[in-house]
Homo-oligomer: A and B are copies of this chain.
């Protein structure tokens, strides 16, 4: 039976070459990196090697990489860890951040911090004027995601970081969807902090990292033995860290090849859908978007029912951002683009990855129109044209 995975923004498989590098660290090279004996030293060496790989992938220094247990934790460390060093003041995020940033911002808000959510235009690009005007005397941080997980739009991060610095604030970007998909250099971007996550770039789940520019001071969220230069205590997840290093390394090596290939596949898929199904609206920026992201909304029908029908036909896609809240709310991202709630409920996200082929894209374009048709026949909102 067909089995096509178009949900790489939710998570990727671990690349077998990455797993291969992780494997020895479970049962044989299982030392605790804090221990002085040879198994401990071996584990320490592996952790530091992975740190160098991640640093190299971002153009960062090794001492600027803090391993965390994932993207969400890294985002929380960036926002809460950075701001908690100050008396409550003000900070800025975009209106389309991932819940990891959004909810960390809400938590800070409950602690007395004022926060502005900067709107985006119809393509999902942040309103740079509104952003610039939002800064106040007591603005300590701005955080804008590198690329959106739902609609794929890439933000002008270098410009946003520059503005923040001019205004005397630090700048963080959640680059979970960007790292591994597009070239990212923290120096060129000029950011103070940057989040990445293993399982979005063919590495393991449960591991991520925060780039913290030299001189940027944070307080930890998790206290204990003082690991990760005191920023994240807890025995290091050695296989996970090794896997993250290997995954970043591999992504670097493949980027030049995969990026144009995925862009072509993405555009083929988007064109195919738009041409074969009426009343479909493409979401996100036409060009400034992630290589593998195809997002659209289908009128008169609802996302989950499309998704389940597609699943029954062997196509795994997402109806928006994956999150465990079980919320039935339409995606805040799609609403922020200016769409109505009804339209937002009809959104679908296909996110392509290394292993996807043109045949798979073409198969999708075959299967999708009759599914839409079937669901529209069932919909009380649909009036045959």
Q: Are B222 and A324 in contact (CB under 8 A)?
A: no
> How far is A76 from B5 in the complex, measured between Cα atoms in Å?
37
Q: Does A40 sit at the interface, judged by CB under 8 A?
A: yes
**CB-CB nearest 4 A-B residue pairs:** A206-B237, A225-B323, A69-B69, A226-B325
Q: Which of B13, B106, B234 contacts A73 (CB 8 A)?
A: B234
- Inter-chain contacts of A206 with B (CB < 8 A): 69, 206-207, 234-237, 239-240
- Inter-chain contacts of A327 with B (CB < 8 A): 226
Q: Does A275 sit at the interface, judged by CB under 8 A?
A: no
Q: Are A13 and B27 in contact (CB under 8 A)?
A: yes
Which of these binds chain B: A96-104, A152-160, A278-286, A371-379? A96-104
Listed A/B pairs (19) with beta-carbon separation below 8 Å: A5-B39, A11-B35, A16-B27, A34-B323, A36-B318, A37-B307, A69-B206, A69-B237, A70-B234, A72-B223, A72-B224, A72-B234, A73-B234, A104-B224, A107-B223, A204-B239, A205-B239, A225-B325, A226-B325
Q: Are A223 and B100 in contact (CB under 8 A)?
A: yes
Shortest Cβ distance from A10 into B: residue: B32
Q: How many residues of A contact B (CB 8 A)?
A: 79
Interface residue ranges of A296-343 to B (CB < 8 Å): 304, 307-308, 310-311, 316-319, 321-327
Q: A238-282 interface mask toward B, CB cutoff 8 Å, 1 = contact, 0 = none?
A: 111000000000000000000000000000000000000000000
- Inter-chain contacts of A38 with B (CB < 8 A): 311, 316
- Inter-chain contacts of A75 with B (CB < 8 A): 224
Q: A7-31 interface mask toward B, CB cutoff 8 Å, 1 = contact, 0 = none?
A: 1001111111001001000111011
Given contacts A40-B10, A239-B205, A222 and B72 within 8 Å (CB-CB) = yes
Q: Does A345 sit at the interface, judged by CB under 8 A?
A: no
Shortest Cβ distance from A110 into B: residue: B219
- Inter-chain contacts of A221 with B (CB < 8 A): 76, 221-222
- Inter-chain contacts of A99 with B (CB < 8 A): 223-226, 233
Q: Are B34 and A322 in contact (CB under 8 A)?
A: yes
Q: Does A289 sit at the interface, judged by CB under 8 A?
A: no
Interface residue ranges of A161-218 to B (CB < 8 Å): 197, 199, 204-207
- Smallest CB–CB gap between A227 and chain B, Å? 4
Given contacts A14-B26, A36-B304, A233-B100, A240 and B325 within 8 Å (CB-CB) = no
- Within the oligomer, what is the number of copies of this chain? 2
Q: Which of B30, B36, B204 contacts A26 (CB 8 A)?
A: B204
- Smallest CB–CB gap between A270 and chain B, Å? 20
Q: Does A346 sit at the interface, judged by CB under 8 A?
A: no
Q: Are A30 and B11 in contact (CB under 8 A)?
A: yes
- Smallest CB–CB gap between A106 and chain B, Å? 7
Interface residue ranges of A38-82 to B (CB < 8 Å): 38-40, 69-73, 75-76
Q: Does A291 sit at the interface, judged by CB under 8 A?
A: no
> How far is A1 from B110 in the complex, measured between Cα atoms in Å?
59
Q: Are B76 and A235 in contact (CB under 8 A)?
A: no
- Inter-chain contacts of A22 with B (CB < 8 A): 26
Given contacts A103-B223, A221-B221, A311-B38, A235 and B205 within 8 Å (CB-CB) = yes
- Smallest CB–CB gap between A298 and chain B, Å? 16
- Smallest CB–CB gap between A236 and chain B, Å? 7
